[in-house]
Chain A
Amino acid sequence: MKKLVLAIAATAMMAGAAQAQSYPNRPVTMIVPFAAGGPTDIVARIVGEHMSKTLGQQIVVENVAGAGGTTGITRASQSKNDGYTIMMGHMGTHGAAPALYANLKYDPVKDFEPVGMAAGTPILIVGKKNFPAKDLKEMMAYLKANPDKVNQAHAGIGAVSHMTCIMFNSQLGIKPTAVPYSGTGPALNDLVSGQVDYMCDQIVNLVQQIKAGSIKAYAIATPVRSPALPDVPTTVEAGMPDYQVTAWNAIFAPKDTPKEVMTALTDALNKALDDEATKGRLLELGAVLPTKTERGGQWLGEFVGKEVARWTPVLKDASK
């Protein structure tokens, strides 16, 4: 027993000396604030796999779901800022959360060191198969004419489909009946079977249904068409150019993480985004990748500020 204690103490001391070595010398935890298998989780795992290669240490994805992602981000923001805990933030957690959660325990702008944008998934406006509108213009007219009749589905308060449709409705100046579901699956199911009229959600959740013709796509909220759905017009083409929404995912570290750690992380992320295989995988999902100017921490930091400013008034107004 005594020998064991001595041995442990000896290794501990040697380990202390090894601490001085460069970052990272043990696995890095990436907190994903959503359940495994969702769009953010998939992006994190694909990007994380390549980043592990560059860093020479495994990036372990830890899913901490709850309260629209704010549970996980709160935990990550309070963890040690040594670079061994990083997180995959998201449009909701770092854009909309301050407006949705009154007692949010973090500030998306001040409490984080931005690593860089990873990938975003564009938002689509879709309707049920027999919705009486053949394009977005007709749809807008119909929604404005029948505000009491239409039902809009969303996957719960704080979900991407909830926030993005609020933005859509507020730009149209309507407040339709919103039917809440406990996830994208059930909401989509009722859209396919025609219980509800329309919804807005990420392309990855909808692409197969659109291709099969079980729901109708009206527009994609990006400046250019998506290669995954080349027949779906952009909101610019279809007559609603101000509706530009992408559910973005970006990597952050806790506040005051050392400079050299941030450089290493940003560098690893950029290498992952340059890798053909990783890029291919993300594009298959219908994701949009950051352009060269949209990379890195500085751009992301400014972007988060703009997102918070953009979502707060819209969401506050909708909850009145």
Chain B
Amino acid sequence: MSGQVAPSEDQSPGLIKSTQELGAGLFLMAIALFFYWQGLDLPRGTLRALGPGMLPLALVTLLGVGGLMMVIYSLFETGPRLERWSLRGPFFVFGGIILFALLIRTCGLMIAGPVSMIFGMMASDEFKLKEATIFSIAMTIICILLFKTLLRLPIPVIGTLLEPIFPF
């Protein structure tokens, strides 16, 4: 909803004086609500004998109040507007990391390294496939030498899927 406001650096003239503050408040309230729901089943105990649920409940309440205050402020105090959100960066960067997590045990660093890096590099608008391929393969070799050979971390280079055909 805030994204539809005309792109200008000035604060919006309408009812909401700071879309950033409003978004921040709503975001915090959502987090508070989520954790409140998650902690519903935990026994709270008493003040004299704190249970596992007591502290989370107190924090969630305060966080919710803080979020609410921000929402109220956003209606009265002028503040910065919400920045434009880009999708390309988060999609490729976080996608690359997720690919790494999915591939590292099965295919090893050998495959997970280049794949996750090339995918992640697509986040940049200066992306060139050839450069990315060469760079990511070189980086993967450096990483294998550095982490496996030099630092001896037990990171899988080959992975369980490919292990039977690469016996080293």
Interfacial residues, chain A to chain B (CB-CB below 8 A): 11-13, 15-16, 18-19, 25-26, 29, 60-62, 80, 84
Residues of A within 8 A of B167 (CB): 15, 18-19, 25-26
Whether the pair B166, A12 counts as a contact (CB closer than 8 A) is: yes
Comparing B65-73, B92-100, B139-147, B157-165, the segment that makes contact with chain A is B157-165
Verify B165–A12 contact, CB threshold 8 A.
yes
In the complex, the answer to whether B168 meets A16 with C-beta atoms within 8 Å is: no
The answer to whether B164 touches A16, judged by C-beta atoms less than 8 angstroms apart, is: yes
Tell me whether B14 is interfacial, beta carbon within 8 Å.
no
A98 to B39, CA, bound (A): 25
Q: Is residue B154 within 8 Å, beta carbon to beta carbon, of the partner chain?
A: yes
Sample of 10 more A-B contacts, CB < 8 Å, known A12-B166, A18-B167: A12-B165, A15-B165, A15-B166, A15-B167, A16-B165, A26-B167, A29-B154, A60-B154, A61-B154, A80-B160
Main SS of the interface on chain B?
loop
Given contacts A29-B154, A60-B154, A62-B154, contact A11 B164 (CB under 8 A): no
A29 to B156, CA, bound (A): 11
Distance of B137 from chain A, by nearest CB (Å)? 10
B163 contact set on A, CB distance < 8 A: 26, 84
Which secondary structure characterizes the binding site on chain A?
A: mixed
CB neighbours (8 Å) of A11 from chain B are 166
Q: How far is the CA of A13 from the CA of B167 in the complex (A)?
A: 11
Option from A13, A26, A61 in Cβ contact (under 8 Å) with B168: A26
Please tell me the number of chain B residues within 8 Å of chain A, measured between CB atoms: 8
B85 vs chain A, min Cβ distance (A)? 35
What are 20 A-B interface contacts by the 8 Å CB criterion?
Answer: A12-B166, A13-B165, A15-B164, A15-B165, A15-B166, A15-B167, A16-B164, A16-B165, A18-B167, A19-B164, A25-B167, A26-B163, A26-B167, A26-B168, A29-B154, A60-B154, A61-B154, A62-B154, A80-B160, A84-B163
Q: How far is the CA of A15 from the CA of B166 in the complex (A)?
A: 6
* Chain B residues positioned under 8 Å from A13 (CB to CB): 165
> B residues within 8 A CB of A80?
160
Report the separation of the CA atoms of residues A13 and B166 in the bound assembly, to the nearest whole angstrom. 9
Residue of B nearest to A31 (CB): B154
> How far, in angstroms, from A25 to B168 measured CA to CA in the complex?
8
Taking CB atoms, residues of chain A closer than 8 Å to B166 are 11-12, 15
Distance between Cα atoms of A11 and B166 in the complex (Å): 8
Within the complex, the shortest CB–CB distance from A60 to chain B, in Å, comes to 5
CA distance A84 to B168 in the complex (A): 13
CB-defined contacts of B165 to chain A, threshold 8 Å: 12-13, 15-16
Contacts of B160 on A, CB cut-off 8 Å? Answer: 80
CB distance from B62 to the nearest CB of A (A): 24
Tell me which residues across on chain A come within 8 A of B168, comparing CB atoms.
26
Q: CB-CB < 8 A to A62: which residues of B?
A: 154
Complex Cα distance, B154 from A60, in Å, reads: 7
Cα(A84)–Cα(B167), bound, Å? 12
Q: How far is the CA of A148 from the CA of B39 in the complex (A)?
A: 31
Residues of chain B from 119 to 168 with CB closer than 8 A to chain A in the complex: 154, 160, 163-168
The smallest beta-carbon distance between B107 and chain A, in angstroms, is 13
Give min CB distance, A58 to chain B, whole Å.
10
Alpha-carbon separation in the docked complex, A108 to B168 (Å): 32
Give bound CA distance, A62 to B167, whole Å: 19
Docked complex Cα distance between A12 and B164 (Å): 9
